[in-house]
Structure 1
Amino acid sequence: MRVTQSMLSSNMLRNLNNSYSKMGKLQEQLTSGSKINRPSDDPVAAIKGMGYRTDLNKVEQFTRNMNQVNSWIDTTDESLGQVSEALKRVQELVTQAANDTNDSDDREKILAEISQIKAQIKDVANTKVGDDYIFSGTKTQSPLYDANGNLIPATTTGTAFNADVKIEVFDGIQLNVNTDAVQLFKDIEDTLTSIEGQLSAEPGGDGDDATELSSLLGNIQAVYEDVLAERAEVGAKQNRVEMMTNRLSIQEINVKKQMSNNEDVDYAESITEMVTQESIHQAALSVGANIIQQTLVDFIR
């Protein structure tokens, strides 16, 4: 086959263009810090990168969910803590009222304070996180007590007010973030109502007897222990949330490491390859200058 000057020139230009393309790709990788700037650079690595980014997006979403879980559980713990402190105060007041030395005025003052504590506990039962009531089960837009202080749930079992609120914190793992406190607050309300009835009874009547008030101390202690039991369960949830948070942090680190190994440029290797390619390109230019023969224009000079 006859090799013409045109063929030599075309081959030289094609090879130079390929050399420029290789140097441009290496320069782009060094500038961006990524081996993959378009799917065609490495289709297999590009597909893996999509999977890693999907995993990372999941971790970020689960982390946001975990923040919401922490808000619910921490607020629940704080609210139950307020209830337990209120019940301790009620216990002190009832013990004081059971003393026969108290006159009617003293008991009226005690009654007034207990009534205020009762109203405060109802307010705590309507605690919200954002726009959600935390003690209302899945009926998060409805409070437990209405504006008149009446318990809204008609029954204490089998209703949405007793349903679990679950939030996904990992693939296939959901945490129950709420506390089924309808029965708890109902028992507290009934106990405080009984105490109010004893304190408001006519002097000298059966309900005014100090012995009756003393017997109610056991009821107060019972509901107080129920509150402590609920707080213990909330504490167990907090411990699990902490472990899940650590697990998510480890998962995020692992995914980012895998994504880095898949995509990030090895600068030492790329710079070495870039220098080598530049040397090859310079050699190609030098050889190309010798391959291209002189034209008639050169002879005219």
Structure 2
Amino acid sequence: MRLNHNLSSLNIYREYSKTLKANSKALSHISTGEKVVKASEGPNTIAKSERMRLQIRGMQMSQRNVQDGISMMQTADGSLSSLSSILNRVRELVVQAGSGSNNDEDKEQIKGEINQMLDGYNQIVKDTEFNGVKLLSVEDEKTMQSGANSGESINITFKDLSLDKVGVLNPDNSVDSDKSLKKLREELDLSKPEDISKALEIVDAASNSIIDLRSKYGALSNKFESTFDNLGEFEASTQKCESRIRDADIAEEMIQFTRTGVLIEAGNAMMVQSNKFPQDVLRILENVRSR
């Protein structure tokens, strides 16, 4: 029994401090829902978790990019459908102009309607855009980031469908300026049989260009949709793995919190008892002095 150092009380206090720290840690895990709050609690664990979170955030943003790509392709497809309908009507009018029963006034009216249809065609080409990006009036290529990592992207090629950019192609795939929709609108005389044949050739070539582009955009839209579905599955799997690593088991933490809480109360009670030991020494000394 010692007077200067109450070793029993010091030992109890040391264990009490450890228990108090464990209780605070369990409470922190319960309140945050994470079993690794600070990097010091699990350096390797938090490194894995943070890398997964980077991937998850990247995949979430990529899904938004892909959704924008789908919307862009749907916008382009809607306009291409309208252009195709216009050219179908123009072709009907050209064939009608080739009828030998038409007088000069009839042919002028047909030519006027063709010009109006082609003006509407050109207006659609100029006005079709998505978030300020021209879709049918520029020769361009855009890169859409479709994944969380470098190199995961999809290229979108835009084609200029203006009146002077669509028509019969030369061997080098450039548009023959004498056989373009612009030439059809401005100079072709539908009263001449040779111009009727030339007009049909131009309209058919333009229709084929639009059909090909619409087919490519349709395939690209399907690619965006499949990419979106895959990204959703990858994100869900990664979040599940990250949850196993980072999220706290609340039931387990509650057990730890309750256990340490009982030990803290027991430690307080024991320290009260152990702090009475010096008083016992004093009582012994008092008995010695009284003798």
Q: TM-score range by the shorter chain?
A: 0.7 to 0.9
Which 5+ residue runs of structure 1 have no aligned equivalent? 136-143, 145-160, 200-206
1:157 corresponds to: none
Q: Does 1:268 align with 2:251?
A: yes
SS at match of 1:164: strand
Answer yes or no: is the 8 Å Cα contact 2:97–2:110 preserved in 1: yes
Deviations, residues 26-81 of structure 1 (Å, cap 9, x unaligned)? 11211221112222222222111211111112112212221332232222212211
Answer yes or no: is the 8 Å Cα contact 1:86–1:117 preserved in 2: yes
Distance 2:4 2:237 in 1: 58
Q: 1:273 to 1:21 in 2, by over 3 A?
A: same
Greater strand fraction, Structure 1 or Structure 2? 2
Q: Does 1:25 align with 2:17?
A: no
Q: Which has the higher contact order (CA 8 A, sep 6+)?
A: 2
Q: 1:104 to 1:173 in 2, by over 3 A?
A: same
Aligned with residue 164 of structure 1, among 138, 141, 163:
141
Aligned with residue 242 of structure 2, among 243, 246, 259:
259
Answer yes or no: is the 8 Å Cα contact 1:33–1:265 preserved in 2: yes
The runs of 4+ residues in structure 1 deviating greater than 4 Å are 1-4, 182-185, 294-299
Q: Does 1:59 align with 2:42?
A: no
Question: Per-residue deviation at 1:231?
Answer: 0.9
The normalised TM-score by structure 2 is 0.81
Distance 2:3 2:197 in 1: 117
Aligned with residue 245 of structure 1, among 228, 250, 253:
228
1:220 corresponds to: 203
Distance 2:89 2:257 in 1: 78
The number of residue pairs the alignment matches comes to 269
Q: 1:276 to 1:184 in 2, by over 3 A?
A: farther
Distance 2:3 2:156 in 1: 81
**C-alpha RMSD of the superposition:** 2.9
The normalised TM-score by structure 1 is 0.78
Answer yes or no: is the 8 Å Cα contact 2:163–2:181 preserved in 1: no
Answer yes or no: is the 8 Å Cα contact 2:56–2:238 preserved in 1: yes
1:181 corresponds to: 160
Structure ID, larger Rg: 2
Structure 1 range deviating more: 218-227 or 74-83: 218-227
Structure 1 range deviating more: 33-42 or 85-94: 33-42
